[in-house]
Amino acid sequence: MTSTVFRLTTACTAALLSLGLVACGGSTATSPGTPATAPAGNAVATAPPADDATEGPTADDDADDTDDDSPSTAGAGAKVSANTASEDEITQALTAAGVSNPGRWAEEVVEYRPYPSDDLDLTKLRQNLAKYNPGEETTDKIVSALTP
Amino acid sequence: MIRSGGPATTGRGLVWRGLVALTAVGILATAFELYSVHHWNGVEQLVPWVALAVLAVATALVVAPGGTGAVAARVLALLVLAASVYGVVDHALVNFGSGPLDQRFAESWDALPLLTRVWYAVTTEVGPAPTLAPGVLGQTALLLVLATLGDARRPAGR
């Protein structure tokens, strides 16, 4: 009987390890290798002047090439709260920021709520958006339109 | 192969206990994995949690004294199997819909052949959802169904 218990324990352990491997494989697969069609590095390497497209119609061109995620863009009126704004409001803000597929991204913003109120750079959102491999430029545009 | 005890403990009993134990391990491992990835953003992501609860109830029915819950357990396990299939399909669809969000395919996704896009979605080349992960639920549910069938059924008197 002892050997039976030993065998059962061994079998269960093996099953647990197998499940863990399968699950880990699935999870890590979210950052796959790049396909031959369009290497990710190329798109990322085009280091974007993100502000040109993110400032919206009322952006002031003279002062802020790099400070879109500062709260001082109130003049553009495009920043909305990632925590409390409705999906439609976020969609509008992302549209004004020049983000492609703003509706889809707004869904993702809402899905991963809540965001820490003291994280002005929306690190949690950035981490979740990275699963979709949007590229740094798009991520920056999205974050530039949002506050926690 | 030398075993102690009668056939009920060394044959059917061993298989039955093994299947139930693997079911329990599957439930716990899946719960751990879901917890690890914070799988609770929105109602849809709660589906596997509900399925796990249903599977736990089904397992309890199988091991409950008297062994009269086998049929109900099978029905519940089949519901979980259906939820698992739904999960696999849903993950693939989520990945498919994420194609245009991927910087590598933002401009070309719609121009790719359908089979290529499906392949990228199923293999998680695009999108965040591990396609086959929900299949673990179905596998676990099938283990429980097997524990209620044929020679693997709960031995009498247990």
Rounded to the nearest integer, the mean pLDDT of chain B is 89
Residue of B nearest to A128 (CA): B128
Task: Characterize B45-83 residue by residue with b for buried, 16 or more Cβ atoms within 10 angstroms of its Cβ, and e for exposed.
Answer: eebbeebbebbbebbebbbeeebebbeebbebbbbbbeb
Tell me if A23 and B29 make a contact (CB, 8 A cut-off).
yes
Q: Where does the pLDDT of residue B9 fall: very low under 50, low under 70, confident under 90, or very high at 90 and above?
A: low
Chain A residues whose CB is inside 8 A of the B46 CB are none
Encode pLDDT of A5-14 as tens digits: 445 444 444 4
> Which of B104, B105, B117 to mutate to test binding with chain A, by most A CBs within 10 Å of its CB?
B104
pLDDT, one tens digit per residue, over B30-89 is 999 999 998 988 889 999 999 999 999 999 999 988 778 899 999 999 999 999 999 999
| Residue type at position A34 | T
d(CA B126, CA A61): 36
Question: What is residue B11's predicted lDDT score, i.e. its pLDDT?
Answer: 74
Asked whether B62 and B76 are in contact (CB, 8 A), the reply is no
Lowest mean pLDDT among B27-31, B64-68, B135-139: B64-68
CA distance B80 to B73: 11
Report the share of chain A in percent with pLDDT over 70. Answer: 47
The answer, yes or no, to whether residue B20 has pLDDT greater than 80, is yes
Best to test chain B binding among A1, A4, A9, A31 (most B CBs inside 10 Å): A4
Name which residue leads in pLDDT, B136 or A7. Answer: B136
Low-confidence ranges of chain A (pLDDT < 70): 1-78
Q: B147 vs B11, which has greater pLDDT?
A: B147
The residue among B16, B58, B22, B56 whose CA lies nearest residue B147 is: B16
Q: Taking the model in full, what pTM does it have? A: 0.68
- pLDDT for residue B10: 65
Phi/psi for B37 (5° steps) reads -95, 10
pLDDT above 90 covers what percent of chain B?
A: 74
Q: Do A133 and B33 count as a contact with CB atoms less than 8 A apart?
A: no
Q: Which long-range contacts (CB under 8 A, 24 or more apart) does B112-119 make?
A: B118/B92
What is the count of residue pairs from A and B with beta carbons less than 8 Å apart? 108
Q: Is the pLDDT of residue B103 over 70?
A: yes
Local structure of residue B11 (DSSP, 8 states) = I
d(CA B70, CA B51): 18
Q: Which residue of A has its CA nearest to B101?
A: A134
Place of tokens 């979210």: A30
H or E segment at B61? Answer: helix B47-63
pLDDT of residue B151: 58
Q: Which of B22, B102, B133 sits opposite A23 (nearest CB)?
A: B133
**What pLDDT was estimated at residue B67?**
72
The residues, any chain, with a CB within 8 Å of residue B80's CB and separated by 6 or more, are: B51, B54, B55, B58, B137, B138, B140, B141
Measure B69 CA to nearest chain A CA, in Å.
24
Give the H or E element holding residue A147. Answer: strand A146-147
Closest Cβ–Cβ partner in A22, A35, A43 for B103: A43
Shortest distance between the Cα of B140 and any Cα of chain A, in A, equals: 10
- Residue of B9, B36, B103 with shortest CB distance to A138: B103
pLDDT of residue B72: 94
Tell me whether residues A104 and B127 touch, CB distance under 8 A.
no
